[in-house]
Chains A and B, each alone.
Chain A
């Protein structure tokens, strides 16, 4: 092919980039990703303000902003700060965590379907938390610890069961579906064994809902989420290099196994803490990274864009679940429908492209 060319190809310098320098630090940012992230940030802010406006006492955006910054000490200030803000903050923060978690796992496994909900990590977190609630009757910290241990154990089990001279993507998912089914059965058993009051609390939690989230649950969850996001800022570079394969990234100076383990733990921790606070919210971590990848048009998945898109998805879904329907729904019901439709679309599209 190359022999027939008469003119040399124009040199491709790649996509447009912005370089920021400050002292000895510099960052080279993909221009389109930057623009998309800024746009998504604005969209999340708008969605959050709309969510804060809606409710039994409708408020204007101006009242909401005044209430947020403490300028209003009357009823609307209380409504915004004490009643609606925890829930909206939770939607943004949890969506962010789920989006990033899905992006890390999908990048690590190089598989668009390998999100925590599909490979059973969410089920594992749920069962882990449930064991703590039913058998030990713990508070939020104990439940979150149980969810984290459950999520990590499930991730390890799924990975080992799917391992057979390497982990092949689809096998990982089928094994994940199987493990998820067993964990769901175990959860049902635990719920039926539990006392009625405990079972009712746990069932409400199991639907995936932001309703029970107030400041007391949100603050510790937020601390864990920030603590897990922080290392990911540093680890996002090794993550990109791991996409090139173990040998290549090793040659580029990445400590492969350690980076992968750290990334996996952070991703599972993000999903587990969200599950502990709000129950399993399905499919946000599946859909957000893939939509983000299509928007940014880059080679890999931008963690920032995936997180912001997750935040947008969950905030909008929760607003719809709360206000657009005759009865308030658990947000998990909405995300499962949206995410399931998206998964179907993904399969159809992939089937068309397969030669």
Chain B
């Protein structure tokens, strides 16, 4: 179980190698999944805007969106609460899905997830330090601290979880859990020491999209968009890295550069998502697995499909969280944990936990 993914070229890895002869589901079906995923995402976006603890007729929702200046209580709910929240869900979802897919591709680790590996907790503790020690207030400052925290924790967990430079999935997960436990303890302690920070961060630390207005979402989005493009640009190189370092180098890939850029993309994506919504676990774990299952092993398609499926999952969890406890709310991170943990168990039960 502890053995890393088979790096030696063999009949199984060959199909990941070629640029043309990538196998998996037939091309038409793969394209169909992307269309279906986009359609589902659209439907979930509509649901996220229409559904909520206060029932608003569909006609009024459309009116409010068509005439943003009209005013009225329902229009304000739609435009100032539900719309930014939906956009936040999309942005966070895309970031988490891509971060998870990148981690899984880069480390060939089926248990890769920014939440499980403690990256979210690292971002959270740095944001808390920023608020408590440096008195940060703006979302961009939060983002800077979150990315720094994500970077430090990624390096630490990779170091702890590797045996002689080879990252082992289960050891990485344990290292992530241990580091996350320490950091969560420190975050709790800092928040208890500082009542103001406690008030500001309490809702955020649960992993939630509540009250994430435009002022939080808009400044962070450009950084996430840039990282998303970087991630998509790395897809082809990651396909080769999946064959093992030597094979990738032989195929003309600069392995060190690919790895460095991937880590940059992962930390900005995971840190940015945490800066907006707080730590949300399991999205990055689940989505790439479903994407791989639907489209086969080509990273280009996995990344693309993850970008569509992850926001669907986040928004769906958010809508479910809004409805099960109405008029209260269940944080989105709680819903994703409840859906995602069984998948983690199923993956751990698989005969080869490290097989992708």
Best-surrounded residue of A175, A181, A207, A333 (most CB of chain B within 10 A): A181
Determine which of B1, B171, B186, B329 lies in contact with A337 in the assembled complex, contact meaning CB atoms within 8 Å. B186
Determine which of A189, A325, A347, A354 lies in contact with B174 in the assembled complex, contact meaning CB atoms within 8 Å. A347
Chain A residues closer than 8 Å to B225, beta-carbon distance: none
Chain A residues closer than 8 Å to B164, beta-carbon distance: 351
Q: How many residues of A contact B (CB 8 A)?
A: 43
* Complex interface residues of chain A between 296 and 355 (CB less than 8 A to chain B): 325-327, 329, 333-334, 336-337, 339-341, 343-344, 347-348, 351, 354
Determine which of B171, B188, B331, B341 lies in contact with A333 in the assembled complex, contact meaning CB atoms within 8 Å. B188
* Complex interface residues of chain B between 331 and 356 (CB less than 8 A to chain A): 331, 334-335, 337-338, 340-342, 344-345, 347-349, 351, 353
Chain B residues closer than 8 Å to A161, beta-carbon distance: 345, 349
A347 & B161 in contact (Cβ 8 Å cutoff): yes
Chain A at the B interface: SS class: helix
* Complex interface residues of chain B between 3 and 59 (CB less than 8 A to chain A): none
Tell me if B137 counts as interface (CB < 8 A to partner A). no
* Complex interface residues of chain A between 178 and 198 (CB less than 8 A to chain B): 178-179, 181-182, 184-186, 188-189, 192-193
A185 & B341 in contact (Cβ 8 Å cutoff): yes
Determine which of B181, B341, B348 lies in contact with A181 in the assembled complex, contact meaning CB atoms within 8 Å. B341
Expressed in whole angstroms, the minimum distance between the Cβ of A321 and any Cβ of chain B is 9
A178 & B348 in contact (Cβ 8 Å cutoff): yes
Binding site for B on A (CB under 8 A): 113, 118, 161-162, 164, 168, 170-171, 173-175, 177-179, 181-182, 184-186, 188-189, 192-193, 207, 282-283, 325-327, 329, 333-334, 336-337, 339-341, 343-344, 347-348, 351, 354
Binding site for A on B (CB under 8 A): 1-2, 111, 116, 160-164, 170-171, 173-175, 177-179, 181-182, 184-186, 188-189, 192-193, 206, 281-282, 324-325, 328-331, 334-335, 337-338, 340-342, 344-345, 347-349, 351, 353
6 closest A-B pairs (Cβ-Cβ)? A340-B182, A174-B348, A336-B185, A343-B178, A340-B181, A178-B344
18 inter-chain pairs at a CB distance below 8 angstroms, sorted by A residue, are A164-B349, A174-B347, A174-B348, A177-B177, A178-B341, A178-B344, A185-B334, A185-B335, A185-B341, A193-B325, A283-B181, A326-B193, A333-B188, A334-B185, A337-B186, A340-B179, A348-B160, A351-B162
